[in-house]
Structure 1
Amino acid sequence: MRTTARLLVGVAALIAIIAVPPMALWHFRSVYVPDHMPSASEVVTWLTSEDSGQLFLLLLVGAGFVAWLQLVVAIALEVVARLCGANVPRLPGSAWAQHMAAAVLLLVLTSTAAEATELAADGTPSTHVVIPGDSLTKIAAAELGSAARYREVFDLNRGVRQPDGRSLQDPSLLRPGWVLHLPGDPDCEEVIVRPGQTLTQIAREQLGDAGRYHEIFDLNRGRPQPTGHLLDDPDTIHPGDVLRIPRPPKPAAGGGGAAAAAVFARVPESCPPAEPPSPPPQPVEPPKPPGGETPTPTRQPPKTVTPTADADDGSSAVLTSVGGVLAAGLLTLLVIRRRRAQRRRRPGHRIHIKESGPFEHALHSAAHPTTVEDLARALQTLAGHVGDDLPKLRAVKIGAEGITLRLAAKSKPIEPFVKSGQTEWRLDSTANLDGDDVPPPYPALVSLGYTQKRDLVLIDLREAGVLTLGGDREAIEPVLLAMAWDLAVAPWTAWTQITLVGVGRTSAEAHPDRLRFTSGWEDAIESLEPEPDRPQVLLSAIPLTGDVVQRLLPLRLDAVVAAHDEDVVLPGAWHLDVTTRFTAVEVLGEDIELQRLSPVQVSELVSALAEADEPKQVLHREFRGVPPEKKGVPEPHQAREPTRPVVMRPAVAAMPSLQMLGPVRLHGADPQAVEGKKLNRLTELAAFLALHPGVTADEISRQLGTDTQPWSAATRQGYISRLRTWLGRDEKDELYVPNVDARHGGYRMSDSFTSDWRVFRDLARSGLADRDSAVSDLQQALDLVRGTPFGNVPAGRYAWSSWHQREMIDAIVDVAHTLADAYQKAGDLPAARRAAMRGLLAEPVSEILYRDLLRIEYRAGNLAAVRQTADKLVALAASLELELDEETSALVSTLLADRS
């Protein structure tokens, strides 16, 4: 009723504006218009004699008529523009009229949309009309019960045409009068499978009845899992699988359901019915495209999705919600776990890793590892100069002005910092950072978020002591999870123990070395054991109580971050309201967009870590001929006839070719023929096309650009055209970069364009299949290796190449191992040693090749070289924070003990 009344008022106002002024002017025309046509002399008399008021009234009416005419024209333009979906043109001198016209139409449109909202089914509004002052977080809090669900509103409405012809593209930009669709409540949740769990156990834990396991199975049957499996057997689930769980009934007020929900990753939409089961993928080699590289059956490069105006996978949110410290730390953690798995790879096999999800992909764009390293070394250098007398640090800011420390009090700057304000020090870019051997100070330094100028702010939780977060649980948990993971992966918090209370159980299980989960305050207090040399930080989604505060005081924790309770007074505590996009941090005088990790992002991270810890090894079709490693002590060396000399294939006439098995180079094309600043980009484009035959234009734009700034069509076409012109034509007068046609179906390099990787695969394939030419072909393949594939690419470039790089490294190691084995069997230990060393150019810490070297030196009777090789491997592993595989350690012990 209220909206109907508002609609009537709006329509009445519109009619009144258009019709009433001319009707009034016509009705009262006798007051200001003469009853006859004045003569020239009468006009002169009116202008020269004293005005009786009639002339002024006439001028006033004329001005009013002009104003009315401006308003009518403005309303007409506004209506036409909205109907056509175009922008309203701006009329000079008529801004006031256009603003009033927009306001009147806004009243009419708002009333109409609001009335439609009130008539929605079940009395639940399905749309929301934006009013001045609205934001996505306010709308989500008011309509959906949680400000944290603003992303669902944005995803649902992104790109949808609005009444004014525009569309929602930026979460922070809303216009009054827009009608936003609201998502429905999810009717199921997700849980991540932990090692050792079964469906009955999950049903018992989450549904309270082990017999309901079949409901979980029916809901997930046939669904592809992050681990690469399909659930088709209720008795077979894998760690890292994400299973949909029927939503449990909401607990009554005051119940403990909120704490139990911490392990769930909420689905942004209602769960669709389970897909019908499909057969698991068979290890069949895909057909080789003409002139391209044959993709391996065990690992495919990441699939790209053609971006559209409406598409959004959530990864763009990472660029604003996750800071560079957290992004760099998470990527480092994933790399370490995957390296550990890679070192356990068996010859001829491949580690089966699923494609990177949107969260991991976006982390690469957000990470700033160099800046993180600079900050860590700068703080260690500072600590080296002052010892334990560290200045009280309140915050760190990383931005366009470099690294700045904000102190709690005025203090004289200490190297490597210089004074930049009353209580601020800035890192001297020319300073020598020499504190590598100093224990990291400030072990509770954590990323808080970004300022409006996109400066990353970190705070020292020890300076805060107690930090409370205001808002509902769904808004608080992403902030706590981001803090937990930030503390868990930052280089300056290596000795900090993080305890999570009522939140982050799956996170703690995925990273138990640094994170510990407790379900409530009682368990948390009992598990806390003060360690003088180990800082303790506690993060809780459950509010503090007076009793808990009293029990925590004797434990002397370094910092506590907990949900806010208005009934508990905590003098001196910092407080943050997490319900808005930008949070006012009073102690810093800054408005900060808090760092957050959503349940979906945590789910992807936990799944990736679980897969890295328990990787699946698959025998590669093309490398079935690679010999397994020998077990036990090698046989003594017996001199034999020298190995047959390697017969080199005739050199091919010079033509454009790409080298990727080491530093990337494009040979056979004159580098002087292109601008120097475009040379690297064109080389990367050629490598991308060579490794992705048939790629689409949109895939090129996204992979060679960034998530936030993909190549435009003009940029893409400019680079492709420039590469085509630069490389020219082959001996058959065909372009090395063919034009796209129906036969090719996408962009590619021609069949005559080759690469060292393509030649390497051809030689490896023939060498492993033909015993007569095995040594010759494999040696020629190995001679192509000049270093780590893609070893010279700058940071932020060739992000698409990681999958190809891993496949190249594995293939090189397999070929080097096969040659080392063949040369040993032939009695040529120097050649075997050279083969292993050549392979180590590509993978300096390959334990397969190091074990080959250990056996070679042992057979040569060189015990000192065995010790040197083992020591070198240990040092390399330590520098990369890796532990030697048990098989390698056992071999070293056996060989040294056998000759001691």
Structure 2
Amino acid sequence: MRTFRLLAAAVILLAITVVPPMALWHVRSAYLPDRVPSATEAVAWLTGEDNGQLFLLLLVAAGLIAWLQLVVAIVLELLARLSGTAVPRLPGFGWAQRIAAALLLVVLTGTAAEAAEPTGDDAQPTHVVAPGDSLTKIAAGELGSSARYREVFDLNRGIPQPDGRSLQNPGLLRPGWILRLPQDSDCEEVVVRPGQTLSQIASEELGDAGRYREIFDLNRGRPQLAGRVLDDPDSIRPGDVLRIPRPAKPAGGGGAATATFVRASVTCQTPEPPPPAPPSQPAKPPSPPPSVPPPAQSGHSSNSAASPADADDGSSVTVVSVGGVLAVGLLTLLAARRRRAHHRRRPGHRIRHKQPGRLEKDLRAAACPGTVDDLDRALRTLARHAGADLPRLRAVKIGTDGITLRLAEARSPIAPFVQTRPAEWQLDPAADLDGEHVPPPYPALVSLGHTADRDLVLINLHEAGVLALGGDRDAAESVVLAMAWDLAAAPWAARTQLTLVGTGKTSAERHPDRLRFAPGWDEALEPSQGCPQVLLSAIPLTDDVARRLPPSGYDAVVTALDNDLSLPDAWHLDATGQSTAVKILGEDVELQRLSPVQVSELVDALADADEPDQVQADEYRNVPLEETGVPEAVHVPEPAVSVDRRPVATSVPSLQLLGPVRLHGADPEAVEGKKLNRLTELAAYLALHPGVTADDISRQLGTDTQPWSAATRQGYISRLRTWLGRDENGELYVPNVDARHGGYRMSGSFTADWHQFRDLARRGLAERDHGVSDLQQALDLVRGTPFNGVPPGRYVWSSWHQREMIDAIVDVAHTLADAYQKAGDLPAARRAAMRGLLAEPVSEILYRDLLRIEYRAGNLAAVRQTADKLAALAESLDVELDQETSALVSTLLAVRPS
């Protein structure tokens, strides 16, 4: 069938482009004279009575012009589809381009249609890639979790696509590709064929032509293959990919007309962005903050902006001046610093971070963690197999063809790579990457920039020796800063010491363990020993310094260069223009840059993470501070059995957020299985944001760029309202919106463990007589880390709530541990600390409580075991322990309890 389609497509194109001129030439005697007329004969022919030959000639001329327009339109449409760019619209060619689009839809998507059409009950669901799509967005929208992007990648890696290419890298996609999806989807999308309208599709798919509006609302603003978005119900075109609310057979159970679209099973959800950094937290935490939209996935930088066409390769090229490696590294660094700040929080206080700036939002749009991880593991696996025979690596290219190595010399490939050219290896998609514990073999590998095809290029500075940046000084400085931070954050350069000359002083002060600043060359030419050394200078190289470089001890040097200095053995790049020729690649590269303004924003974000504001939380003013000095030892008998005072479950709908998210008291069989998680998230959002507006729901449970449509939002709210039903007083758990309610909310009879926790904690901290009992009841509600078990990509609005819940749980657990110790009930104190650690496994406040508890019990072995466990947890999570914790361990182990 596939061969027949291709043959038919070739015949159609051949007939359109070749047959008309051949036919006209064959019958030319009917409208052309036998010889070239003279001027007198031509004038007489035009002014005399027409015998029909002149009219026929004019008709043939018009036909030739129309044929030429159609051929041009077909060529433009074909080139645009193969390159993944938008089709240029030519004045006067509208009719021809519409016909060409329809023809090529049949020709180029004939095999795609065959792949996407269901062949039985177990047909493979698919997704047609649109401009701006990435695997994480597709996984979030179609499978409900951006974390499942790897499943989509593994399912499609190496499979030929309609344009002849194949998916080799998770961050690089092409519009028009047909991606297979795992067999767990419950919705459909259609590819519009010529002549279709939304009403016809609604009638044939949903059984009701009047439901065309639902389809339009679900697809409003969604990018299409031609590079435009759907903004009018009457503007659909052949080739548009539309989602439909749910599969439905034509009314009447048969007799429907032959399908005029391609069907592919997907999930009717809009994509969600990766979780943003925690937003600023107010000083008064009892009320949830106003709904703040997640950071938009901006495609701009200080240097240039990405067009829609630029963005068709995936998220790793959304920001032109910053590559995916640098983006992932900087975001990881920021997250680690913020996590460390929360571990050093004082009891009863809250950490208040500033809102993420423009740079951080751009980094999130450019990051592609899977690609960075693949490259790191691939190079370590290569080192494991090569041993001492490690190849000389010049450059790495990450693009549509996967991960490609450019070597300094031709040689036989080493696993996990295969040879594509004499000095070029490509990562084998099926290879087992098993170099986890091998040191990185190329610690001076740094991102250089992007090619015209949006492939990311990295170069090995060790192989270059000296990389000279000619041209404008400011332009060279931005390249130097980008390389410095790229190396400072890349996983394979973790042991590389970097020296910045003449620039980056604030960067070095904020990241001193990796960056060193030198004001001039004299101070720079004294590197430390014992690890790889790279020098990066914004000060141009001089003859004197050039003579001193070889014995200086640096493995590589990146430096600005004056035009009058000759370095014949160096690699030279012109930093002035947007792109520069790279000889080792044989193509131009758009250099990666970080301007001083962007670096200043990055340094400010790191400073805010390192030294955040700690504000007293009003509701937790009575949380005791940690005791100082050596705790007084007490001895009490251990109970045989500890009592777990958990609240009794009820049949009333209630929401569990203090641990794995669950919705109890509602029959899970009463809703579609694929909608259960989404409805639970909607219930959680309404419970934590009473009075929220319809727009807030659409934006927070969708995305800023692709919010929920009105039809999608109303459909989920209606399902949730029907599912939960009414309370014992006949009131809806999800009330209808009216003037009294003033927005969407859950009813007062709907309960959530977080609300119960806050009420008990507030009362327990305010009342001395019954405080311990109330606090213990609050702590008994905790079953794990809040919002645990939700798929990444869901609950992106919950970061502030999760942080507040964790801090509150730690405060309550610490208060109870302190009260029980003062009362001499060490087992109860131990249980309180351990319950709090369910929510925050690396809480140093609670671990210090445990250390004091075990010391008071006279159990020095348990003190040591507790300290070792905390150290191991901190190492596994890449968290640095506070000096106060280390000092307490040393003190307790040095003084034996009396």
Output the TM-score relative to the length of structure 2.
0.64
Match of residue 825 from structure 1: 822
Query: What SS is found at the alignment partner of 2:748?
Result: coil
Match of residue 754 from structure 1: 751
Q: Are the aligned partners of 2:301 and 2:319 in contact in 1 as well (CA < 8 Å)?
A: no
Query: What SS is found at the alignment partner of 2:447?
Result: strand
Indicate yes or no: 2:541 matched with 1:548.
no
Match of residue 190 from structure 2: none
Q: Are the aligned partners of 1:542 and 1:563 in contact in 2 as well (CA < 8 Å)?
A: yes
The count of aligned residue pairs is 652
Indicate yes or no: 2:882 matched with 1:885.
yes
Deviations 1:554-599 (A, max 9, x none): 3253222233544333324334445555555342245544333344
- The alpha-carbon deviation at position 307 of structure 1 amounts to 8.0
Indicate yes or no: 2:609 matched with 1:612.
yes
- The alpha-carbon deviation at position 888 of structure 1 amounts to 1.8
**Structure 2 CA distance for aligned equivalents of residues 774 and 311 of structure 1:** 53
Indicate yes or no: 2:303 matched with 1:303.
no
Indicate yes or no: 2:658 matched with 1:669.
no
Relative to structure 1, the CA distance from residue 637 to residue 548 in structure 2 (aligned partners, 3 Å threshold; closer, same or farther) is same
Indicate yes or no: 2:648 matched with 1:655.
no
Indicate yes or no: 2:854 matched with 1:857.
yes
2:293 partner amino acid: T
Relative to structure 1, the CA distance from residue 282 to residue 529 in structure 2 (aligned partners, 3 Å threshold; closer, same or farther) is closer
Relative to structure 1, the CA distance from residue 837 to residue 552 in structure 2 (aligned partners, 3 Å threshold; closer, same or farther) is same
Relative to structure 1, the CA distance from residue 518 to residue 653 in structure 2 (aligned partners, 3 Å threshold; closer, same or farther) is same
Query: What SS is found at the alignment partner of 1:356?
Result: coil
Match of residue 457 from structure 2: 457
Indicate yes or no: 2:867 matched with 1:870.
yes
**Structure 2 CA distance for aligned equivalents of residues 533 and 688 of structure 1:** 53
**Structure 1 CA distance for aligned equivalents of residues 693 and 95 of structure 2:** 46
1:466 partner amino acid: V
Match of residue 411 from structure 1: 411
Relative to structure 1, the CA distance from residue 314 to residue 624 in structure 2 (aligned partners, 3 Å threshold; closer, same or farther) is farther
Q: Are the aligned partners of 2:348 and 2:617 in contact in 1 as well (CA < 8 Å)?
A: yes
- The alpha-carbon deviation at position 461 of structure 1 amounts to 1.6
Relative to structure 1, the CA distance from residue 854 to residue 316 in structure 2 (aligned partners, 3 Å threshold; closer, same or farther) is farther
- The alpha-carbon deviation at position 816 of structure 1 amounts to 0.8
Q: Are the aligned partners of 1:647 and 1:776 in contact in 2 as well (CA < 8 Å)?
A: no
1:350 partner amino acid: R
Relative to structure 1, the CA distance from residue 469 to residue 792 in structure 2 (aligned partners, 3 Å threshold; closer, same or farther) is farther
- The alpha-carbon deviation at position 837 of structure 1 amounts to 0.9
1:753 partner amino acid: F
- Higher RCO (Cα < 8 Å, 6 or more apart): 2
**Structure 2 CA distance for aligned equivalents of residues 363 and 534 of structure 1:** 29
**Structure 1 CA distance for aligned equivalents of residues 385 and 353 of structure 2:** 45
Relative to structure 1, the CA distance from residue 855 to residue 463 in structure 2 (aligned partners, 3 Å threshold; closer, same or farther) is same
Deviations 1:26-64 (A, max 9, x none): xxx9966769xx7xxxx7xx57xxxxxxx75x8778999
Q: Are the aligned partners of 1:316 and 1:707 in contact in 2 as well (CA < 8 Å)?
A: no
**Structure 2 CA distance for aligned equivalents of residues 894 and 726 of structure 1:** 57
The structure 1 residue matched to 2:585, chosen from 562, 584, 588, is 588
Query: What SS is found at the alignment partner of 2:539?
Result: coil
The structure 1 residue matched to 2:808, chosen from 807, 811, 814, is 811
**Structure 1 CA distance for aligned equivalents of residues 759 and 447 of structure 2:** 49
Query: What SS is found at the alignment partner of 1:542?
Result: strand
Match of residue 498 from structure 1: 498
- The alpha-carbon deviation at position 839 of structure 1 amounts to 0.9
2:805 partner amino acid: M
Match of residue 569 from structure 1: 566
Match of residue 779 from structure 2: 782
**Structure 1 CA distance for aligned equivalents of residues 291 and 395 of structure 2:** 39
Query: What SS is found at the alignment partner of 2:820?
Result: helix
**Structure 2 CA distance for aligned equivalents of residues 458 and 432 of structure 1:** 23
Relative to structure 1, the CA distance from residue 459 to residue 69 in structure 2 (aligned partners, 3 Å threshold; closer, same or farther) is closer
1:635 partner amino acid: E
Query: What SS is found at the alignment partner of 2:769?
Result: coil
Relative to structure 1, the CA distance from residue 798 to residue 65 in structure 2 (aligned partners, 3 Å threshold; closer, same or farther) is closer
**Structure 2 CA distance for aligned equivalents of residues 850 and 491 of structure 1:** 30
Match of residue 441 from structure 2: 441
**Structure 2 CA distance for aligned equivalents of residues 842 and 782 of structure 1:** 10
- The alpha-carbon deviation at position 536 of structure 1 amounts to 2.1
Deviations 1:515-540 (A, max 9, x none): 22334xxx234332244532222223
Relative to structure 1, the CA distance from residue 681 to residue 417 in structure 2 (aligned partners, 3 Å threshold; closer, same or farther) is farther
Match of residue 213 from structure 2: none
Structure having the higher Rg? 1
- The alpha-carbon deviation at position 427 of structure 1 amounts to 4.2
Indicate yes or no: 2:622 matched with 1:625.
yes
- The alpha-carbon deviation at position 445 of structure 1 amounts to 0.9
Q: Are the aligned partners of 2:645 and 2:780 in contact in 1 as well (CA < 8 Å)?
A: no
Query: What SS is found at the alignment partner of 2:614?
Result: strand
- The alpha-carbon deviation at position 505 of structure 1 amounts to 2.7
Relative to structure 1, the CA distance from residue 898 to residue 674 in structure 2 (aligned partners, 3 Å threshold; closer, same or farther) is same
Identical-residue share of aligned pairs (%): 68
Q: Are the aligned partners of 2:300 and 2:320 in contact in 1 as well (CA < 8 Å)?
A: no
Relative to structure 1, the CA distance from residue 30 to residue 460 in structure 2 (aligned partners, 3 Å threshold; closer, same or farther) is closer
- The alpha-carbon deviation at position 469 of structure 1 amounts to 3.7
Q: Are the aligned partners of 1:365 and 1:796 in contact in 2 as well (CA < 8 Å)?
A: no
**What is the aligned-residue RMSD (CA, Å)?**
4.5
**Structure 2 CA distance for aligned equivalents of residues 486 and 310 of structure 1:** 20
Query: What SS is found at the alignment partner of 1:414?
Result: coil
Indicate yes or no: 2:789 matched with 1:792.
yes
Query: What SS is found at the alignment partner of 2:457?
Result: strand
Q: Are the aligned partners of 1:445 and 1:458 in contact in 2 as well (CA < 8 Å)?
A: yes
Q: Which moved more, 1:802-811 or 1:468-477?
A: 468-477
Query: What SS is found at the alignment partner of 1:541?
Result: strand
**Structure 2 CA distance for aligned equivalents of residues 478 and 711 of structure 1:** 40
The structure 2 residue matched to 1:636, chosen from 603, 617, 633, is 633
Query: What SS is found at the alignment partner of 1:543?
Result: strand
**Structure 2 CA distance for aligned equivalents of residues 680 and 342 of structure 1:** 29
Match of residue 488 from structure 1: 488
**Structure 2 CA distance for aligned equivalents of residues 282 and 792 of structure 1:** 27
Q: Which moved more, 1:408-417 or 1:840-849?
A: 408-417
- The alpha-carbon deviation at position 796 of structure 1 amounts to 3.8
Match of residue 188 from structure 2: none
Q: Are the aligned partners of 2:467 and 2:559 in contact in 1 as well (CA < 8 Å)?
A: yes
Relative to structure 1, the CA distance from residue 536 to residue 370 in structure 2 (aligned partners, 3 Å threshold; closer, same or farther) is same
Q: Are the aligned partners of 1:447 and 1:457 in contact in 2 as well (CA < 8 Å)?
A: yes
Relative to structure 1, the CA distance from residue 671 to residue 603 in structure 2 (aligned partners, 3 Å threshold; closer, same or farther) is farther
Q: Are the aligned partners of 1:636 and 1:859 in contact in 2 as well (CA < 8 Å)?
A: yes
Query: What SS is found at the alignment partner of 2:351?
Result: strand
Deviations 1:474-525 (A, max 9, x none): 5444333221111111121122122223332322222122222334xxx234
- The alpha-carbon deviation at position 860 of structure 1 amounts to 1.1
Query: What SS is found at the alignment partner of 2:541?
Result: coil
Q: Are the aligned partners of 1:376 and 1:492 in contact in 2 as well (CA < 8 Å)?
A: yes
- The alpha-carbon deviation at position 651 of structure 1 amounts to 4.6
Query: What SS is found at the alignment partner of 1:321?
Result: coil
Q: Are the aligned partners of 1:633 and 1:894 in contact in 2 as well (CA < 8 Å)?
A: yes
Deviations 1:204-224 (A, max 9, x none): xxxxxxxxxxxxxxxxxxxxx
Match of residue 560 from structure 1: 557
Q: Are the aligned partners of 1:760 and 1:781 in contact in 2 as well (CA < 8 Å)?
A: yes
- The alpha-carbon deviation at position 460 of structure 1 amounts to 1.3
Match of residue 145 from structure 1: none
Match of residue 688 from structure 1: 685
**Structure 2 CA distance for aligned equivalents of residues 670 and 440 of structure 1:** 52
Q: Are the aligned partners of 1:378 and 1:433 in contact in 2 as well (CA < 8 Å)?
A: yes
Q: Which moved more, 1:813-822 or 1:528-537?
A: 528-537
Deviations 1:811-856 (A, max 9, x none): 1111111111222222221111111111111111111111111111
- The alpha-carbon deviation at position 408 of structure 1 amounts to 2.6
**Structure 2 CA distance for aligned equivalents of residues 512 and 567 of structure 1:** 34
Q: Are the aligned partners of 2:541 and 2:562 in contact in 1 as well (CA < 8 Å)?
A: yes
Q: Are the aligned partners of 1:640 and 1:826 in contact in 2 as well (CA < 8 Å)?
A: no
1:764 partner amino acid: A
Relative to structure 1, the CA distance from residue 407 to residue 825 in structure 2 (aligned partners, 3 Å threshold; closer, same or farther) is same
Relative to structure 1, the CA distance from residue 92 to residue 446 in structure 2 (aligned partners, 3 Å threshold; closer, same or farther) is same
Relative to structure 1, the CA distance from residue 547 to residue 895 in structure 2 (aligned partners, 3 Å threshold; closer, same or farther) is closer
**Structure 2 CA distance for aligned equivalents of residues 314 and 676 of structure 1:** 47
Match of residue 287 from structure 2: 294
Unmatched 5+ stretches in structure 1: 1-28, 48-54, 71-85, 96-166, 175-225, 230-280, 287-292
